[in-house]
Every structure is written in C-alpha cells, then in structure tokens.
Structure 1
Amino acid sequence: MKWNELPMDKKLYVFELDDVLYPKQDFLLQIYYLFGQFVEFKEGKSLATELTEFMKKILIEKGENAVFEEVKKHFIFKEDYTENFERLQVNGHLPLKLLLFNEIKLLFASLIEQGKTIAVLTAGNPALQLNKLKHMDWQGLDKGIRVYFSDELLFRNIDPIPYIAAENGVNPKDILYLKEKLTKL
C-alpha cells in the first residue's frame, strides 16, 4: 500500500512486525554477528568476521531460510550449532536497538495525535517475535500498543482480526491491517 492510499478513517491500525515496522535484516545481521562470536569462542579459531560476512552474503543471495544450511556445508564445525543458533534468535541480547522505519515513526505519531489505536499482530514463533519487540527503539511511541501473536491465536482456533476487534471494542470493519511495508508516494 502506498502512503497516499492509506485510509485515515479507521479506529484501529494493526501492523505486522518484520519488514513493516523495521527492516528484519537488521535483526538477522545482529544474530549472525552474535553467532559468529559464539562459534569463534567455541571453536577456538578466529572466524567470527568471516562467518558473519558469509551469512550476510547468503542472506542477500539466497534468503534467510538458506543461511544456516549453507553455513553447515561451508564451515565444518566440531559440533552441531543448530540449537545454539535457534536459541540466539529467541534469547540473544542484541548489541544495537532495532530502529523503526522513519515513515512508521511519522505514521505512529500522526495516529496517536488523532486518537487512533495501534496494535501489532505478528506471525512466527511468539518467543522469537517477542525478542525482536524487546529490542525495538520505540522512542516512546509504544505507549498503549497491544501485541498479538497470530500463531498463538490460530493454535487456539481464534481468528485474530475479530479477536483483536473485540478486545479493543471496535468493529472488524474499523481495522486496517498492514502486513507489508508502506511504499513511497
């Protein structure tokens, strides 16, 4: 959706997290950095920079889902680090805050000024998504924002949008759900 097409007559604005509020790549690159540091320590070899750069290259060329498999093929480690890599994503403390897109900061400020309600509805592992949310630099724009995890709701056989509408006392027609990054005019 383009900025100039965004309807401003809704009562509740619901946003996906990854690549809508912030660039997901910012999270992944920090996880790759932490993983590189961890492996370097465990292996006792200086390879953190090489490993991190390799992961970044695979992310750009083949996508997120190919990264760890390519790492396992390229680097022959003494042990399997799959569990450690997954744990870092869920529990890792990022060295840098995740920054909201500038457009989102402006939109949030405008919505708050107009008295609109803002929520986050995010897909994926709830613990992983919560870790991302903890590392966001909200700049005070998170006051009153409710967070919902679609995987958790769907697991409980709850349709997310009607549920969120009921929780916030609005009609589902009064909700705008933004699942993709807003594009420029």
Structure 2
Amino acid sequence: MLTYRDLNPKYKAFVFSLDNVLYPEQDYLLQVYYLFSNFIEFTEGSPVATDLIDFFKNAYLKHGSEGIFDRAKDAFGIDEKYRDNFNRLHTTARLPLKLLLYPNVLKLLQDIIVDRKEIIILTNGLPEIQINKIMQTEWNGLEKYLKVYYVKEIVPELELDAISYILKQLNLKEHELLIISSEETDKEFTNPITLNYLNISEFI
C-alpha cells in the first residue's frame, strides 16, 4: 500500500475523483434511499420504511444504482409521481450522517497539504449532486485547501479537456500533476495513460 512518502516529490498538484476515490459512494446513496423510504411511509403509509430500505440496499449491492427506482416501483407499487422526489433527493438530501473519507485517503490529503502541494477534486457527475456530497463530507479542516472542478462545466463551455484546463489554471506542466482515480472514473480524464496516474486501490 502506497503512502505520500512513496510518491515522487516532483508532483506539485494531485487530482482526485470524488466517488469511490475520496469516500465510498454507497455511503451517500444508501442515506438517500433511507430518506426516501421514510418519506414514502410517512406520505403513503406503506410500504414500511424498513422493508423499503432493505430492498434498496440489497438492490444497490446487487445491481448498482442504475434503474433502482424502477425496481422499487415494481416491487412495492410506488406511484410514478414520486420519481421526481426520488431524483430531487439526490441533489437536496440533508444526510443523517456526514460522509467520511477513506482513512488512508484522509492521511494522504493531510500529507499533501503539509507539504504545501495542491489538492484538486475533478468530478464528472452532475454538479448539483456532487456539490451536495462535498458539502456534507467531513473534511477534517481540509475543505479550505480544495480546488473543485466539474467536467460537465469545463468541457462544454471551454471546449477543452478537463486536465488541460486545470494545467492552464494552475500554470503547471503535465509531469507536475498526478491523477488519482479509479476504474469507474477513468473516463473523466483525457488519455490518462499519457499522464501520471495511480489507481486509488494503491492507497486503500
């Protein structure tokens, strides 16, 4: 397992994805499903929230988040009118529990800051949802050091790939930047093989 000491000191900035890189995405989604389940029980009287929560958890762990509302709708007869509520919760949910960084990632981020290097979060998700996640993450005082960029805002507006934009913004060369991502989020970056890249699995 790698630590900050194992990294080349030439790096001046570190680019991280968000979901399943800094924290486990399921920690967010399962809380969204919890809130929705309680909303449905309160509004309709049934199904019982605990039953719906268990269904969401099992469906997510087996199939992922794609199409999960439709699975619950078919299983419990949830009215289609609640789809908007379900989708909106992903953007507006006030979570019962803060999102916690992976412990080894927290230590890595702290070491980067102590060494006076830059931390960049680059996320390809919907900005509104990703902002909600970031705002409800326990950063342990690191939030003031973060620079956050959204691929969906950079690429359409500026017609630049996100990494080129970040390099230009920070006045850095490619060899001074290290990307830390995951297999699921590699697509956020343009030609990661030509850049300095490590998979988050090396750290956690």
Q: TM-score normalised to the size of structure 2?
A: 0.84
Q: 2:10 matched to 1:9?
A: yes
Change (3 A) 1:86 1:93: same
- C-alpha displacement of 1:79: 4.4
Misfit runs of 4+, over 6 Å: none
- C-alpha displacement of 1:141: 1.6
Change (3 A) 1:19 1:7: farther
Q: 2:140 matched to 1:139?
A: yes
For structure 1, which runs of at least 5 residues remain unmatched after alignment?
A: none
Q: % of aligned pairs identical? A: 38
Letter in 2 for 1:93: R
Q: 2:183 matched to 1:182?
A: no
Change (3 A) 1:46 1:71: closer
Q: Could you report, residue by residue, the CA deviation over 1:78-134 in whole angstroms, capped at 9, with x for unpaired residues?
A: 443111111000011111100000011110111111111101000111100000000
For structure 2, which runs of at least 5 residues remain unmatched after alignment?
A: 183-199
Q: Could you report, residue by residue, the CA deviation over 1:122-174 in whole angstroms, capped at 9, with x for unpaired residues?
A: 01111000000000000012222110001111222221111111211211321
Residue among 167, 171, 176 paired with 2:169: 167
- C-alpha displacement of 1:3: 1.8
**Range moving further from structure 2, 172-181 or 133-142:** 172-181
What is the aligned length?
184
Separation of aligned partners in 1, 2:203 and 2:108: 13
Letter in 1 for 2:202: T
Separation of aligned partners in 1, 2:180 and 2:203: 15
Change (3 A) 1:79 1:162: closer
Separation of aligned partners in 2, 1:15 and 1:167: 16
Change (3 A) 1:171 1:76: same
Q: Could you report, residue by residue, the CA deviation over 1:35-93 in whole angstroms, capped at 9, with x for unpaired residues?
A: 00111112123511111110000011111113222111101024431111110000111
> Which structure's relative contact order is higher, taking Cα pairs within 8 Å and 6+ residues apart?
1
Structure 2 counterpart SS, 1:81: helix
Q: After superposition, where does 1:1-185 map in structure 2 within 5 Å?
A: 3=2, 6-45=7-46, 47-156=48-157, 157-180=159-182, 181-184=200-203
**Range moving further from structure 2, 166-175 or 98-107:** 166-175
Q: Are the equivalent residues in 2 in contact too, given 1:16–1:179 (CA < 8 A)?
A: yes
Separation of aligned partners in 1, 2:126 and 2:96: 22
Superposed CA RMSD: 1.7
